[in-house]
Structure 1
Amino acid sequence: MSALGSVVVPADRLTRRSLILGAGALALAAACSTGHSDSMPHDTVRTALGPVRGVRRSTGFAFLGIPYAQPPVGDLRFAAPVPPAPWTEVRDCTAYGPTAQLHPVAAVTTIPEPSIAGTDYLSLNVFTPDPSPGAKLPVLVWIHGGGFVGGSPASPWYDGSAFNRDGVVLVSLGYRLGIEGFLHVDGAPDNRAVLDWIAGLTWVRDNIAAFGGDPAKVTVAGQSAGGGAVWALMAAPAARSLFRAGICQSGVVAQPHDRAAAAAGAAVFTKRTGVPATVAALRDLSRDRLHKLQNMVPKPGPGNTNPAVLQLAPVADDELIPESSAQLLVSGNSADIPLLLGFTRHEFTMGSAKVTDATAPAALARMRIDASTEKGYRAAYPSSTAAQLIGQIVSDLAIRGPSYRLAEEHARRDRPTWLYEFDRTSTASGGYHELAAHCLDIPFAFDLLDAKGVTEVEGDNPPQALATRMHAAWVSFVRDGDPGPNWPRYTPSTRQVMIWNDASYVAADPFAAQRPLWTR
């Protein structure tokens, strides 16, 4: 391979062989039939499977809800994704298709995340400035977050208009969530959602040229669980020929879990729900029923004394993903590609707003923070209140520390690495006030400050200049594999980090106080 090669506001049997064979058939069909014919209008593209019609927009065209696999129902519910049957009539792709998310993770979420009914949710959306086969534009494939149990590719925050304006094709991808995507189920392949991501990237390889994209210039990106998806794909040898660079925003990179954790998660599921984690027991349950069972798993109680928030997540299965995240950091057996990654300053600090000096010791005990570690955190964040300190520890344990370790190990092997901290605090009233919280960097990276829901969490008049600079760095990275001359590479010797704020700057080793805690 070339060197360029959502958070919540507090409050069956088909094998991977079928996937590989299907991908080969798609590749052959793509070589023969993708593109336009002279009689086709500009808003219609002929894919390897059949023609699709999109909608013309001011910055290009949007083709929405294009299936990359058959609906995961019946015998396919817990199987590897299977390519769709070809079609001959023009397929209307002018509105978002169904989503795997039936219900939002909570009543209020930072990112607007529409839930759209239907089973044909193994689909993707293509936003392109020029659907001409000869355009050869760089491609950004976006994988949404949502804790691996929620989220929606139809969010207005993931619209590709600004990337299209700047000459980039954007693809947003839907995939199986929660139990259907990640639970270790007897009789089914593990990492079904990871197989979905690979199937989507395979579709991109075989079809994106017809939409003006260059299949040799694909960057895979995501935020939160979507950032974890980037790391999981970097850990999967079968995916490495499908993208040449990665962007990991506030990524959940403590996953993939090891096999023991996956087995334990299945055991907890069965003990808490009374339903065996088998294909036979789960295949015919309604999606609503599965969702209710899924919600029983992370709660503390009998059989689950130390529930993990992200028990349903990628796993080292010894086949698709050979090693866990902890093993990968030691072995270096992840993709050797340019990687841009970072986090927000406060991530989940808003979740600890009700902590007081009196309740802080109990909170630290629940997190298993010993006296020595507590002392280290107090030294690293000396001006924090009890609530701020607990929130920062949660943020560091979940996102910031693991991302920092990944940056250190990726750079230590002389792999191109760029690290950032998003430090622009919200001026909105309520829980986000004066916080650079989880998700708040997305509208700036996408340059979508006028999207629905942005001012509610960012505050009125978020700085366009910051969005312009940050988005330009993302575009440069997707186009060239480098975010530009104003952002130096992160190396173990210099540890230079981009600090994104109203007045952005590069800082040398800004996490010196945290490093002893983050690299344990």
Structure 2
Amino acid sequence: MTLASTGTVIEVETRAGRVRGAWRGTPGEGGASAAFLGIPFAEPPVGDLRFAAPMPKRPWEGTLDALEYAPTAQRGDPGVTLIPEPSIPGDSTLNVNVFTPAPGKTTALPVLVYIHGGGYFAGSPASPWYDGAAFNRDGVVTVSISYRLGFDGFGWIEDAPLNRGVLDWMLALEWVRDNIAAFGGDPARVTIAGQSAGGGAVLTLLGMPAAQPLFEAVYCISGAAADVSVDEAEAFGRRLAEAGGVTPDRAGLSSLSEERVLELQKQLTAPAEGGNPLDGLRQFVDGGLTLGPVIDGDLVPLKTVDAIRSGIGADKPLVLGATDDEFSMILSEAKDKLRWIPSRYLLGKVGLTGKARSAYVAANRTVAKKGTAAIVGRYLTDRMFRTLALRIIHARGEAPTWLYRFSWTSPTFGMAVHCIDVPFFFDCLAADKVDAIAGDHPPQSLADAVHAGAVNFITTGDPGWPRYTAASGETRVYDDPSTVIRDGYAEVASLLPS
């Protein structure tokens, strides 16, 4: 659901100054909401601020137009995912987009803050899929945020703060705390949500003591944790500086243009030319992401699962889950060639051997019957996403947690691929390029179910199906129709540490 602007403007006073947004729909009529796009929460991260902690936006005079999306940290391409996430040039890349049915009113509506994905090096909050119109219709103020990506956001630099992208998330959430009441939202009822790297972001925040006062609940869609060690981050930072011919400090790296840093980042994270692609897949699965939140022992004190096991965030309700075949499409183009290679051999090449391999194949017989590409793709999905969901749940113990899986099959890809659940979450099936991933007739009933569960959770702290317990493993399965089953992730159990 996305509404076109009517041209009717509305102004709201923030702490830094007045902003002008636009109504979509007729004010006062059902479903109408206002969009305030590209409100800066920080000074542009350029010049002396390029590799610094974000600086809160200084007050401005007059009224700031918030009628178009602002510059994005993503540069030069539309991103790496199936979600349309445009790149917008410009320096002022740290912004929030606010969608609200009640601007300027003291309605204290619940708030959703959404963090986009893109592997921590791509993605954009300017996607039409992240429009909050449907959430506004259902009484939820919605905010999407930007943050520095790739090396600028997460790279190690000798004399710069680590986790600059994480600090951006924190400052954006502080902006919401300080300003959202002016848009009709309740700063004490904030749910953070994100997909893929954005899902990893909200799990990172859930495990950060400093972030706890800034939100009350978490909704994690296909979350992927980075958990980069300081040693790994430093090694990559020194390699990038050496490749650029500069010293690994702010002075040296600031002498490189943004374009050059992006070029070096791409070169150093690309698979080796001529190498075995299976070795690259195994390295990706075992080693994880090169750039992302760094376990610095301070702001991010522990690895994601360890932080949650320690009890951090245990008072926060959590919904999490994944699609059935997040990364299976990686092997789709090669499925005809792979059909001649025994699946057990190929699973061994990507790290699954012995009794664990036998147990996994036995638990996934239905998938294995579809061929080698299907079972190896499912294994990659499970290693990256579904095992993490189970590990998080087990680490939380009795903390209030709900598990789901998204199983509806894309008619385009023949599986429940990465990103397919996002337009159902936002109930925006008519948005641009949804048909490319969900076909011409995606089921509205499924969007109604996924979106309603999210609204229930944001509004009440309960999505509407039973909590996960070790005894029952109850899992919401989003399909057409949707159901609740026991042990919804049973096929993944053999991959967990015994």
Q: Of 408, 412, 427, which aligns to 2:394?
A: 408
Q: In structure 2, what residue type is equivalent to 1:495?
A: G
1:313 alignment partner in structure 2:
292
Q: Of 17, 39, 46, which aligns to 2:13?
A: 46
- Rounded to whole Å, the distance in 2 between the matches of 1:267 and 1:373 is 38
Superposed CA deviations along residues 338-396 of structure 1, whole A, max 9, x for unmatched, are 00110001111111121514385775455333233322321121132110111011101
Aligned residues: 469
- How far apart are 1:234 and its partner, in Å? 1.1
- Rounded to whole Å, the distance in 2 between the matches of 1:217 and 1:332 is 21
- How far apart are 1:473 and its partner, in Å? 0.9
- Rounded to whole Å, the distance in 1 between the matches of 2:60 and 2:383 is 48
Q: Of 477, 480, 487, which aligns to 1:499?
A: 477
Q: Describe the SS at the equivalent of 1:204.
A: helix
1:325 to 1:258, Cα distance in 2 relative to 1, 3 A: farther
Pick which of 313-322 and 92-101 moved more: 313-322
Alignment RMSD (CA, Å): 2.1
- How far apart are 1:263 and its partner, in Å? 2.8
- How far apart are 1:105 and its partner, in Å? 6.8
1:155 equivalent to 2:127? Answer yes
Q: Describe the SS at the equivalent of 1:56.
A: strand
1:449 equivalent to 2:429? Answer yes
2:148 alignment partner in structure 1:
176
2:261 alignment partner in structure 1:
290
Q: Describe the SS at the equivalent of 1:343.
A: strand
Pick which of 327-336 and 221-230 moved more: 327-336
2:4 alignment partner in structure 1:
none
Pick which of 487-496 and 374-383 moved more: 374-383
1:425 alignment partner in structure 2:
409
1:109 to 1:359, Cα distance in 2 relative to 1, 3 A: farther
Q: In structure 1, what residue type is equivalent to 2:393?
A: A
Mapped contact 1:405–1:519 kept (Cα < 8 A): no
Q: Describe the SS at the equivalent of 2:119.
A: coil
| Percent identity for Structure 1 against Structure 2 | 46
Q: Of 93, 96, 114, which aligns to 2:69?
A: 96
- How far apart are 1:185 and its partner, in Å? 1.3
1:389 alignment partner in structure 2:
375
Mapped contact 2:356–2:494 kept (Cα < 8 A): no
- Rounded to whole Å, the distance in 1 between the matches of 2:382 and 2:269 is 21
Q: Describe the SS at the equivalent of 1:476.
A: helix
1:378 alignment partner in structure 2:
361
1:275 to 1:376, Cα distance in 2 relative to 1, 3 A: farther
- How far apart are 1:273 and its partner, in Å? 5.3
- Rounded to whole Å, the distance in 1 between the matches of 2:81 and 2:164 is 26
Q: Describe the SS at the equivalent of 1:103.
A: coil
Q: Describe the SS at the equivalent of 1:139.
A: strand
- Rounded to whole Å, the distance in 2 between the matches of 1:268 and 1:496 is 46
1:517 equivalent to 2:495? Answer yes
Mapped contact 1:105–1:146 kept (Cα < 8 A): no
1:322 equivalent to 2:301? Answer yes
Mapped contact 1:113–1:152 kept (Cα < 8 A): yes
- Rounded to whole Å, the distance in 2 between the matches of 1:268 and 1:494 is 48
- Rounded to whole Å, the distance in 1 between the matches of 2:494 and 2:310 is 21
- How far apart are 1:322 and its partner, in Å? 1.0
- How far apart are 1:133 and its partner, in Å? 3.6
- Rounded to whole Å, the distance in 2 between the matches of 1:324 and 1:265 is 19
1:243 alignment partner in structure 2:
215
- Rounded to whole Å, the distance in 2 between the matches of 1:215 and 1:439 is 29
Gaps of 5+ in 2: 1-7, 26-31, 274-278
Mapped contact 1:256–1:313 kept (Cα < 8 A): yes
Q: Of 324, 349, 352, which aligns to 1:345?
A: 324
1:470 equivalent to 2:450? Answer yes
1:123-272 aligned at under 5 Å gives the runs: 123-253=95-225, 255-270=226-241
- Rounded to whole Å, the distance in 1 between the matches of 2:380 and 2:315 is 30
Gaps of 5+ in 1: 1-40
TM-score normalized by the length of structure 1: 0.86
